[in-house]
Amino acid sequence: MIWNTVESASREAIEAIQLKRLQETARRVYAINPFYKEKFEERGITPEDIRSLEDLQRLPFTRKQDLRNHYPFGLFCVPMSEVVRIHSSSGTTGKPTVVGYNAHDMEVWNEVMARVYTMSGVGAEDVVHNAYGYGLFTGGLGFHYGAEKVGATVVPASGGFTDRQLMLMRDFGVTVLACTPSFALHLAEVAAKAGSEFRKDYKLKVGIFGAEPTSEGLKKEVAKAWGIEYREVYGLSEIIGPGVSCSCSHSDRLHLFEDHFLPEIIDPETGEVLPEGERGELVITTLSKQALPIIRYRTGDITSLVKEPCGCGRTMVRMESIVGRADDMLIVNGVNVYPSQVEHVIANAEGVTLNYQIIAEKKGHLDKLEIMVEVSEEIMTDNVGELERIRKEIQASLLNNLYINADVKLVEPNTIERSMGKAVRVVDKRR
Amino acid sequence: MSKSVKQLSVFLENKVGRLGEVTGILAKAGIRIRSIELVEAGDFGILRLIVAETERAKELLEAGGFSVKVSPVIAVEIAHESGCFHRIVSLLAAEGINIQYAYTCHGGPLGIFILKTDRVEMLRAVEVLESDGVKVLDAV
């Protein structure tokens, strides 16, 4: 089932919509917001210079810092009387990022979330358990109104109270679970205390997961723990919230709703647009938002895009599940390395998730990479040869899979420095 | 499980002071060390210990941030005379049993020889030794 016929429109039809909307958006921000007007002028362009989709590359980037600098409402393009909703990031690393919506934007959001639900096989017969947090975070309300739009019954569970949540899921005959993958796994672990047959008490068929970076291993674990289909949603509040893209039954890639969000992949270092299929930073221009239109927003997320139509019948461009963050990316002797890839290689080599830290240094003119791996109880042995074998195996897999020549060093548990409870994954001593 | 004693293996990075932290934890808790062997491989090493209270020592060391593994090893009594090691090694070699590593432990008038074979061969190793009159210990 496809919610909107535009999702399977021809490439020409999609591009025609994109160009028309891009021109409208450029005109809007230029006419209304001094920040954009100034940035356009710096580059010597006006909205009239946007004659093709390629001209998008002439427009300036917008960064998270720009939103912070104009805290709270400086980048809005409608009067406050028209704004019907505000959301905001927690702002743990500085001033919060504030986003606003007018009535039209709310319709756009509900529309894309309705596409997400339909793509996940969810309709009027379904009961959606929404355990994304309700509040300033866009997850809760985004998933809430999209479910109502497709006529499903919503249980606005929000976070916490695991036992009560499980009771509601059983008693209300919940068929759809919407939450973060880690919370889904937590729910399954608690549910499993009722015995290995616990799944028969639940009617769950699909889960719509997102809001945190997720390894392939964790996705499989969640799907298996509940015996359900795994759908992945991508989104960010600066663009709209959840509902930028979603995976379908035919592919692990996520269909990006490009009639509303125009994506590009750029080299995070040079800002140049990369060819189709290559990995780089995802940049999005909103095409239909009015309260907070945003031009070429640097998401910081690393992915790739392919345009070939999907077996599900949709033609919208498909993005890879997020590979990593541009901020975390290391360039080692010309090779791009993301910590998430290193983590993946280590987990595959040893079958367990090990704590690690990547240290980059200069040795003469060359970059030298050292990867510290903590020896956990799972891999500890009385045999030195065995530990040496593990060390060499990780080193060889890094070379074979990521083409990086790293020195793997085994270290004692808890040696890797932690910051606010999170292990510091990258130490770049070249800077 | 065949007759065996428990050995602690502790992962150590090859840097000053780490060994002292392990022995310090044990000394503070009043746990007697019966035997100690340190094997190193470049940047790291493994400290093998036979102690009086294995489980308690393991808990304390883990609480101190160390990775610890408990594994069974064979302990045999040996006399202080020439040829006694040779006798044990030959018995096992004749049966095709490989010794992965070995060290000693002193206990009164007699010595103790600690050895590790492949796990699957431990039972057979103990049988071979005992059938030839070697005393295999279940505590040291």
Are A244 and A320 in the same domain? yes
Mean pLDDT to the nearest integer, A1-27:
97
| Torsion sign, CA atoms A418, A420, A426, A430 | negative
Kindly report the CATH class assigned to B6-71: alpha beta
Lowest-confidence range among A222-236, A272-286, A291-305, A406-420? A406-420
Are A321 and A386 in the same domain? no
**pLDDT for residue A260 is more than 60:** yes
pLDDT at residue number A218: 81
Q: Which residues of B touch A413 (CB under 8 A)?
A: 65-67
Mean pLDDT to the nearest integer, A281-300:
97
Bridge-based pairing of strands A305-306 and A318-319 is: antiparallel
Are A256 and A405 in the same domain? no
Q: Which residues of B touch A376 (CB under 8 A)?
A: 67
- Suggest the residue from A381, A382, A387, A409 to mutate for an interface test with chain B (most B CBs closer than 10 A): A382
pLDDT at residue number A91: 58
Residue ending a domain, among A325, A348, A368, is A325
Burial call B17-40: b when 16+ CB within 10 Å, e when fewer? ebbebbeebbeeeebebbbbbebe
Question: Do B46 and A384 lie within an 8 Å CB cutoff?
Answer: yes
pLDDT at residue number A420: 59
SS3 A101: strand
What gap in Å lies between CA A272 and CA A325, rounded to an integer? 17
> How many A/B residue pairs have CB atoms within 8 Å?
57
Q: Write the pLDDT tens digit of every residue in B66-80.
A: 999 999 999 999 888
Are A268 and A408 in the same domain? no
pLDDT interval class at B109 (50, 70, 90)? confident
Are A96 and A228 in the same domain? yes
pLDDT interval class at B85 (50, 70, 90)? confident
ipTM score of the complex? Answer: 0.82
**pLDDT for residue A428 is more than 70:** yes
The answer to whether B104 touches B114, Cβ cutoff 8 Å, is: yes
- Average pLDDT of chain B is 91
B100 → chain A, closest CA residue: A383
Are A147 and A275 in the same domain? yes
For the purposes of burial, counting CB atoms within 10 Å of the CB of B56, is it exposed (0-12), middle (13-18) or buried (19 or more)? middle
**pLDDT for residue A90 is more than 80:** no
For A312, residues 6+ apart whose C-beta sits below 8 A from its C-beta are A2, A119, A248, A249, A250, A251
Question: Do A382 and B46 lie within an 8 Å CB cutoff?
Answer: yes
Domain span including residue A232 = 1-325
Bond into A72 cis (ω within 30) = yes
Nearest to A409 by CA among A369, A363, A352: A369
Which CATH number do you get for residue A372?
3.30.300.30
pLDDT interval class at A300 (50, 70, 90)? very high
Interface subset of A 380-409, CB within 8 angstroms of B: 380-385, 387-388, 409
Cα distances from A62 to residues A167, A203, A293, in angstroms, run 45, 44, 11
**Tell me: domain B72-137, CATH 3.30.70.260, correct?**
yes
pLDDT interval class at A347 (50, 70, 90)? confident
Query: pTM higher than 0.80, yes or no?
Result: no
pLDDT at residue number A316: 97
Are A269 and A161 in the same domain? yes
Lowest-confidence range among A167-171, A218-222, A276-280, A294-298? A218-222
Mean pLDDT to the nearest integer, A350-356:
78
Are A182 and A313 in the same domain? yes
Percent of chain A clearing pLDDT 90 (strictly above): 71
Q: Write the pLDDT tens digit of every residue in A63-75.
A: 988 998 999 999 9
Mean pLDDT to the nearest integer, B42-65:
93
Are A59 and A131 in the same domain? yes
Percent of chain A clearing pLDDT 70 (strictly above): 98
Residue ending a domain, among A291, A325, A359, is A325
Which CATH number do you get for residue A154?
3.40.50.12780
pLDDT interval class at A92 (50, 70, 90)? low
Segments making up each domain of chain B, as ranges:
6-71, 72-137
Residue ending a domain, among A325, A360, A389, is A325
Domains of chain A: total: 2
- Average pLDDT of chain A is 92
DSSP assignment string, A256-277 = E-TTTEEEEEE-TTT-PBPPTT
